[in-house]
Amino acid sequence: MTPPDRAGRTNRAGRVGRTNRTDWATRSHRTGRVSAPPPDPAPGPGHHATTTRTGAALVLGCYVLWGFFPLYFRLLSAAGSLEVIGNRVVWTLATCLVLTAVRHRWRVLWSVASTPGLLGTLAVSGALVSLNWLVYVYGVTTGRTADAALGYFINPLATVALAALVLGERLRRAQVVAVGLAAAGVVVLVVLQGSLPWISLALALSFSLYGLVKKQVGTRVDALTGVAVETAAMSPLALAYLGWLAAHESLVVQASPLPLPLVVLLVAAGPVTALPLLLFAAGTRQVPLSLVGLSQYLTPITQFLLAWAVFREDISPARWAAMALVWAAVAVLVTDTVRQVARRPRPHLTNP
Protein backbone atom coordinates (compact mmCIF):
# COMPACT_ATOMS: atom_id res chain seq x y z
CA MET A 1 0.00 0.00 0.00
CA THR A 2 1.31 3.47 -0.93
CA PRO A 3 2.08 5.73 2.06
CA PRO A 4 -0.28 8.71 2.34
CA ASP A 5 2.38 11.34 1.75
CA ARG A 6 3.69 9.61 -1.39
CA ALA A 7 0.16 9.08 -2.67
CA GLY A 8 -0.49 12.75 -2.06
CA ARG A 9 2.56 13.72 -4.04
CA THR A 10 1.50 11.41 -6.86
CA ASN A 11 -1.99 12.87 -7.00
CA ARG A 12 -0.68 16.41 -6.85
CA ALA A 13 1.82 15.62 -9.64
CA GLY A 14 -0.98 14.23 -11.76
CA ARG A 15 -3.05 17.36 -11.21
CA VAL A 16 -0.07 19.56 -12.03
CA GLY A 17 0.63 17.59 -15.23
CA ARG A 18 -2.99 17.85 -16.36
CA THR A 19 -3.13 21.57 -15.49
CA ASN A 20 0.09 22.31 -17.38
CA ARG A 21 -1.16 20.52 -20.49
CA THR A 22 -4.52 22.32 -20.33
CA ASP A 23 -2.73 25.68 -20.03
CA TRP A 24 -0.47 24.72 -22.97
CA ALA A 25 -3.43 23.81 -25.22
CA THR A 26 -5.25 27.05 -24.31
CA ARG A 27 -2.12 29.15 -24.82
CA SER A 28 -1.41 27.53 -28.22
CA HIS A 29 -4.99 28.20 -29.34
CA ARG A 30 -4.96 31.85 -28.22
CA THR A 31 -1.54 32.77 -29.62
CA GLY A 32 -1.49 30.60 -32.72
CA ARG A 33 2.05 29.50 -31.83
CA VAL A 34 2.72 25.81 -31.57
CA SER A 35 5.26 24.42 -29.15
CA ALA A 36 5.93 21.08 -27.56
CA PRO A 37 3.60 20.32 -24.65
CA PRO A 38 5.10 20.34 -21.14
CA PRO A 39 6.36 16.96 -19.97
CA ASP A 40 4.53 14.86 -17.44
CA PRO A 41 6.09 14.37 -13.99
CA ALA A 42 9.13 12.09 -14.19
CA PRO A 43 8.34 8.38 -13.63
CA GLY A 44 10.47 5.94 -11.69
CA PRO A 45 13.30 3.77 -13.15
CA GLY A 46 11.09 0.66 -13.55
CA HIS A 47 8.60 2.55 -15.67
CA HIS A 48 11.50 3.98 -17.72
CA ALA A 49 12.78 0.48 -18.61
CA THR A 50 9.33 -0.67 -19.70
CA THR A 51 8.84 2.48 -21.76
CA THR A 52 12.21 2.00 -23.47
CA ARG A 53 11.35 -1.58 -24.45
CA THR A 54 8.00 -0.45 -25.82
CA GLY A 55 9.66 2.38 -27.74
CA ALA A 56 12.27 0.02 -29.20
CA ALA A 57 9.51 -2.35 -30.35
CA LEU A 58 7.66 0.53 -32.02
CA VAL A 59 10.77 1.80 -33.82
CA LEU A 60 11.79 -1.67 -34.99
CA GLY A 61 8.23 -2.36 -36.15
CA CYS A 62 8.26 0.86 -38.16
CA TYR A 63 11.51 0.02 -39.98
CA VAL A 64 10.42 -3.58 -40.63
CA LEU A 65 7.16 -2.34 -42.17
CA TRP A 66 9.07 0.07 -44.39
CA GLY A 67 11.36 -2.78 -45.38
CA PHE A 68 8.42 -4.87 -46.61
CA PHE A 69 6.81 -2.00 -48.54
CA PRO A 70 8.05 -3.39 -51.90
CA LEU A 71 5.69 -6.37 -51.48
CA TYR A 72 2.77 -3.93 -51.27
CA PHE A 73 3.79 -1.56 -54.05
CA ARG A 74 4.53 -4.39 -56.49
CA LEU A 75 0.81 -5.19 -56.29
CA LEU A 76 0.06 -1.68 -57.61
CA SER A 77 2.20 -1.92 -60.75
CA ALA A 78 -0.83 -1.88 -63.06
CA ALA A 79 -1.82 1.60 -61.87
CA GLY A 80 1.41 3.38 -62.81
CA SER A 81 3.73 5.29 -60.50
CA LEU A 82 2.10 8.72 -60.81
CA GLU A 83 -1.41 7.40 -60.20
CA VAL A 84 -0.15 5.46 -57.19
CA ILE A 85 1.45 8.60 -55.72
CA GLY A 86 -1.64 10.68 -56.46
CA ASN A 87 -3.74 8.19 -54.53
CA ARG A 88 -1.14 7.90 -51.80
CA VAL A 89 -1.14 11.65 -51.18
CA VAL A 90 -4.94 11.95 -51.19
CA TRP A 91 -5.67 8.90 -49.04
CA THR A 92 -2.84 9.67 -46.61
CA LEU A 93 -4.34 13.12 -46.12
CA ALA A 94 -7.78 11.55 -45.57
CA THR A 95 -6.31 9.12 -43.02
CA CYS A 96 -4.53 11.93 -41.16
CA LEU A 97 -7.71 14.01 -41.02
CA VAL A 98 -9.67 11.07 -39.60
CA LEU A 99 -6.99 10.48 -36.96
CA THR A 100 -6.91 14.20 -36.18
CA ALA A 101 -10.66 14.10 -35.56
CA VAL A 102 -10.41 10.98 -33.42
CA ARG A 103 -7.63 12.52 -31.31
CA HIS A 104 -9.36 15.94 -31.11
CA ARG A 105 -6.34 17.78 -32.53
CA TRP A 106 -8.08 20.24 -34.88
CA ARG A 107 -6.79 23.23 -32.90
CA VAL A 108 -3.20 22.05 -33.22
CA LEU A 109 -3.63 21.39 -36.94
CA TRP A 110 -5.17 24.83 -37.48
CA SER A 111 -2.42 26.52 -35.44
CA VAL A 112 0.27 24.97 -37.66
CA ALA A 113 -1.59 25.58 -40.92
CA SER A 114 -2.19 29.24 -40.01
CA THR A 115 1.47 29.91 -39.15
CA PRO A 116 3.13 31.04 -42.44
CA GLY A 117 6.65 29.96 -41.50
CA LEU A 118 5.61 26.44 -40.50
CA LEU A 119 3.23 26.12 -43.45
CA GLY A 120 5.92 27.10 -45.96
CA THR A 121 8.50 24.77 -44.45
CA LEU A 122 6.08 21.84 -44.43
CA ALA A 123 5.06 22.57 -48.02
CA VAL A 124 8.71 22.23 -49.06
CA SER A 125 9.14 19.04 -47.04
CA GLY A 126 5.90 17.73 -48.58
CA ALA A 127 7.30 18.28 -52.08
CA LEU A 128 10.53 16.49 -51.15
CA VAL A 129 8.83 13.47 -49.57
CA SER A 130 6.41 13.22 -52.52
CA LEU A 131 9.38 13.15 -54.90
CA ASN A 132 10.95 10.47 -52.71
CA TRP A 133 7.73 8.43 -52.81
CA LEU A 134 7.49 8.76 -56.58
CA VAL A 135 11.05 7.61 -57.26
CA TYR A 136 10.70 4.76 -54.79
CA VAL A 137 7.43 3.47 -56.26
CA TYR A 138 8.86 3.78 -59.78
CA GLY A 139 11.94 1.79 -58.77
CA VAL A 140 9.96 -0.97 -57.08
CA THR A 141 7.32 -1.32 -59.79
CA THR A 142 9.93 -1.43 -62.59
CA GLY A 143 12.05 -4.17 -61.02
CA ARG A 144 14.72 -1.97 -59.41
CA THR A 145 14.14 -2.64 -55.74
CA ALA A 146 17.87 -3.28 -55.27
CA ASP A 147 18.60 0.26 -56.50
CA ALA A 148 16.02 1.59 -54.02
CA ALA A 149 17.71 -0.37 -51.22
CA LEU A 150 21.10 1.07 -52.24
CA GLY A 151 19.60 4.55 -52.01
CA TYR A 152 18.47 4.02 -48.43
CA PHE A 153 21.88 2.58 -47.52
CA ILE A 154 23.43 5.78 -48.89
CA ASN A 155 20.86 8.05 -47.21
CA PRO A 156 22.52 8.29 -43.75
CA LEU A 157 25.85 9.01 -45.45
CA ALA A 158 24.23 11.70 -47.60
CA THR A 159 22.75 13.18 -44.43
CA VAL A 160 26.22 13.35 -42.86
CA ALA A 161 27.60 15.04 -45.99
CA LEU A 162 24.74 17.59 -46.02
CA ALA A 163 25.33 18.34 -42.35
CA ALA A 164 28.89 19.31 -43.22
CA LEU A 165 28.10 21.22 -46.42
CA VAL A 166 24.92 23.03 -45.37
CA LEU A 167 25.07 23.26 -41.58
CA GLY A 168 28.85 23.57 -41.34
CA GLU A 169 29.17 20.66 -38.91
CA ARG A 170 32.66 19.24 -38.45
CA LEU A 171 32.90 15.59 -39.44
CA ARG A 172 34.83 13.06 -37.42
CA ARG A 173 37.50 11.06 -39.21
CA ALA A 174 35.32 7.96 -39.36
CA GLN A 175 32.48 9.95 -40.94
CA VAL A 176 34.83 11.31 -43.62
CA VAL A 177 35.98 7.75 -44.38
CA ALA A 178 32.38 6.51 -44.57
CA VAL A 179 31.31 9.28 -46.96
CA GLY A 180 34.42 8.63 -49.09
CA LEU A 181 33.66 4.91 -49.34
CA ALA A 182 30.05 5.61 -50.36
CA ALA A 183 31.21 8.07 -53.01
CA ALA A 184 33.69 5.46 -54.27
CA GLY A 185 30.82 2.97 -54.55
CA VAL A 186 28.87 5.36 -56.78
CA VAL A 187 31.97 6.00 -58.94
CA VAL A 188 32.57 2.26 -59.32
CA LEU A 189 28.97 1.76 -60.41
CA VAL A 190 29.20 4.55 -62.98
CA VAL A 191 32.51 3.29 -64.40
CA LEU A 192 31.71 -0.44 -64.50
CA GLN A 193 28.03 -0.20 -65.41
CA GLY A 194 28.29 2.88 -67.61
CA SER A 195 25.27 4.63 -66.09
CA LEU A 196 24.47 6.82 -63.13
CA PRO A 197 22.47 5.07 -60.37
CA TRP A 198 19.91 7.87 -60.47
CA ILE A 199 17.23 6.02 -58.51
CA SER A 200 19.62 5.39 -55.61
CA LEU A 201 20.98 8.94 -55.64
CA ALA A 202 17.53 10.55 -56.00
CA LEU A 203 16.18 8.58 -53.04
CA ALA A 204 19.20 9.33 -50.86
CA LEU A 205 19.32 13.05 -51.67
CA SER A 206 15.56 13.70 -51.54
CA PHE A 207 15.18 12.03 -48.15
CA SER A 208 18.32 13.69 -46.76
CA LEU A 209 17.02 17.08 -47.87
CA TYR A 210 13.63 16.17 -46.39
CA GLY A 211 15.32 15.49 -43.05
CA LEU A 212 17.23 18.77 -43.30
CA VAL A 213 14.03 20.75 -43.90
CA LYS A 214 12.16 18.92 -41.13
CA LYS A 215 15.01 19.81 -38.78
CA GLN A 216 13.95 23.45 -39.17
CA VAL A 217 10.54 22.50 -37.74
CA GLY A 218 11.98 20.52 -34.85
CA THR A 219 9.58 19.50 -32.11
CA ARG A 220 7.09 22.29 -32.82
CA VAL A 221 4.99 19.98 -35.02
CA ASP A 222 4.09 16.39 -34.16
CA ALA A 223 4.26 13.61 -36.77
CA LEU A 224 0.52 13.36 -37.47
CA THR A 225 0.05 17.10 -37.91
CA GLY A 226 3.20 17.36 -40.03
CA VAL A 227 2.13 14.62 -42.44
CA ALA A 228 -1.38 16.10 -42.63
CA VAL A 229 -0.05 19.53 -43.64
CA GLU A 230 2.53 18.05 -46.04
CA THR A 231 -0.04 15.96 -47.89
CA ALA A 232 -2.56 18.84 -47.83
CA ALA A 233 0.04 21.01 -49.57
CA MET A 234 0.58 18.33 -52.24
CA SER A 235 -3.08 17.33 -52.63
CA PRO A 236 -3.97 20.03 -55.23
CA LEU A 237 -1.32 18.61 -57.58
CA ALA A 238 -2.39 15.05 -56.81
CA LEU A 239 -6.07 15.81 -57.40
CA ALA A 240 -5.27 17.73 -60.59
CA TYR A 241 -3.36 14.75 -62.00
CA LEU A 242 -6.06 12.28 -60.99
CA GLY A 243 -8.63 14.60 -62.56
CA TRP A 244 -6.63 14.71 -65.78
CA LEU A 245 -6.53 10.90 -65.83
CA ALA A 246 -10.27 10.81 -65.23
CA ALA A 247 -10.87 13.23 -68.14
CA HIS A 248 -8.98 10.81 -70.39
CA GLU A 249 -10.76 7.80 -68.85
CA SER A 250 -7.44 6.38 -67.69
CA LEU A 251 -8.09 5.96 -63.98
CA VAL A 252 -8.00 2.48 -62.52
CA VAL A 253 -11.58 2.89 -61.26
CA GLN A 254 -12.71 3.55 -64.85
CA ALA A 255 -11.49 0.19 -66.11
CA SER A 256 -14.00 -2.43 -67.15
CA PRO A 257 -14.43 -4.72 -65.39
CA LEU A 258 -13.61 -2.80 -62.22
CA PRO A 259 -10.38 -4.18 -60.68
CA LEU A 260 -11.78 -4.06 -57.15
CA PRO A 261 -8.70 -5.56 -55.38
CA LEU A 262 -6.46 -2.93 -56.98
CA VAL A 263 -8.86 -0.13 -56.03
CA VAL A 264 -8.91 -1.34 -52.41
CA LEU A 265 -5.12 -1.48 -52.36
CA LEU A 266 -4.88 2.09 -53.68
CA VAL A 267 -7.26 3.37 -50.99
CA ALA A 268 -5.22 1.43 -48.41
CA ALA A 269 -2.17 3.55 -49.35
CA GLY A 270 -3.36 6.08 -46.76
CA PRO A 271 -3.34 3.81 -43.69
CA VAL A 272 -0.29 1.93 -45.01
CA THR A 273 1.64 5.21 -45.16
CA ALA A 274 0.36 6.62 -41.87
CA LEU A 275 0.85 3.53 -39.66
CA PRO A 276 4.68 3.33 -39.70
CA LEU A 277 4.95 7.11 -39.36
CA LEU A 278 2.86 7.01 -36.20
CA LEU A 279 4.86 4.06 -34.86
CA PHE A 280 8.05 5.99 -35.56
CA ALA A 281 6.77 9.14 -33.87
CA ALA A 282 5.64 7.25 -30.77
CA GLY A 283 8.79 5.11 -30.56
CA THR A 284 11.43 7.81 -31.04
CA ARG A 285 10.12 9.70 -28.00
CA GLN A 286 10.95 6.72 -25.78
CA VAL A 287 14.36 5.48 -26.99
CA PRO A 288 17.82 7.01 -27.48
CA LEU A 289 18.47 8.59 -30.87
CA SER A 290 21.43 6.22 -31.34
CA LEU A 291 19.06 3.23 -31.37
CA VAL A 292 16.92 4.95 -33.99
CA GLY A 293 19.99 5.61 -36.13
CA LEU A 294 21.20 2.01 -35.96
CA SER A 295 17.73 0.54 -36.54
CA GLN A 296 17.21 2.42 -39.80
CA TYR A 297 19.39 -0.08 -41.68
CA LEU A 298 16.74 -2.74 -41.19
CA THR A 299 14.75 -1.14 -44.03
CA PRO A 300 17.34 -1.32 -46.84
CA ILE A 301 18.55 -4.74 -45.64
CA THR A 302 15.01 -6.11 -45.91
CA GLN A 303 14.48 -4.42 -49.28
CA PHE A 304 17.71 -5.81 -50.69
CA LEU A 305 16.89 -9.33 -49.49
CA LEU A 306 13.48 -9.06 -51.16
CA ALA A 307 15.05 -7.87 -54.43
CA TRP A 308 17.62 -10.65 -54.43
CA ALA A 309 15.77 -13.64 -52.94
CA VAL A 310 12.08 -12.96 -53.69
CA PHE A 311 11.91 -10.77 -56.81
CA ARG A 312 15.00 -12.42 -58.34
CA GLU A 313 16.30 -9.13 -59.70
CA ASP A 314 19.48 -9.26 -61.76
CA ILE A 315 22.28 -7.82 -59.62
CA SER A 316 25.33 -7.28 -61.82
CA PRO A 317 28.93 -7.61 -60.58
CA ALA A 318 29.21 -3.82 -60.77
CA ARG A 319 26.28 -3.42 -58.37
CA TRP A 320 27.72 -6.05 -56.03
CA ALA A 321 31.00 -4.11 -55.99
CA ALA A 322 29.21 -0.84 -55.30
CA MET A 323 27.11 -2.49 -52.60
CA ALA A 324 30.26 -3.86 -50.93
CA LEU A 325 31.77 -0.36 -50.73
CA VAL A 326 28.54 1.16 -49.41
CA TRP A 327 28.18 -1.63 -46.84
CA ALA A 328 31.76 -0.96 -45.73
CA ALA A 329 30.85 2.72 -45.36
CA VAL A 330 27.80 1.79 -43.29
CA ALA A 331 29.93 -0.49 -41.10
CA VAL A 332 32.37 2.37 -40.43
CA LEU A 333 29.51 4.76 -39.62
CA VAL A 334 27.77 2.27 -37.31
CA THR A 335 31.02 1.46 -35.49
CA ASP A 336 31.69 5.16 -35.00
CA THR A 337 28.15 5.69 -33.67
CA VAL A 338 28.50 2.83 -31.20
CA ARG A 339 31.82 4.21 -29.96
CA GLN A 340 30.38 7.68 -29.48
CA VAL A 341 27.46 6.26 -27.50
CA ALA A 342 29.78 4.14 -25.35
CA ARG A 343 31.87 7.18 -24.45
CA ARG A 344 28.92 9.17 -23.16
CA PRO A 345 28.62 9.29 -19.36
CA ARG A 346 25.71 7.23 -18.11
CA PRO A 347 23.27 8.98 -15.79
CA HIS A 348 23.06 7.59 -12.25
CA LEU A 349 19.56 6.60 -11.26
CA THR A 350 18.56 7.13 -7.67
CA ASN A 351 15.57 5.75 -5.85
CA PRO A 352 12.74 8.25 -5.43
Who has greater pLDDT, 155 or 31?
155
Position 350 pLDDT exceeds 70: no
pLDDT at residue 59 in the model: 87
pLDDT digits (tens, 9 = 90+) for 274-314: 898 888 877 877 777 667 777 889 999 999 999 999 999 99
pLDDT digits (tens, 9 = 90+) for 81-112: 999 999 999 999 999 999 999 999 999 999 99
Count CB atoms within 10 A of the CB of residue 173: 9
pLDDT at residue 38 in the model: 55
pLDDT digits (tens, 9 = 90+) for 123-135: 999 999 999 999 9
Position 23 pLDDT exceeds 60: no
Q: What percent of the chain has pLDDT over 70?
A: 82
CA distance 252 to 237: 18
pLDDT at residue 54 in the model: 85
pLDDT at residue 7 in the model: 44
pLDDT at residue 304 in the model: 94
Render the burial of 204-218: b for 16+ CB within 10 Å, e for the rest: bbbbbbbbbbbeebe
Position 169 pLDDT exceeds 90: no
Please name the amino acid found at residue 223: A
CA distance 126 to 93: 12
Closest CA to 144 of 89, 200, 79: 200
What's the CA angle centered on 289, arms 89 and 199, to 5 degrees?
45
- pTM of model > 0.85: no
pLDDT at residue 26 in the model: 53
* DSSP helix/strand/coil, 83: helix
Position 18 pLDDT exceeds 70: no
Q: For the residues of 156-169, what is the DSSP string, one character each?
A: HHHHHHHHHHTS-P
pLDDT at residue 14 in the model: 46
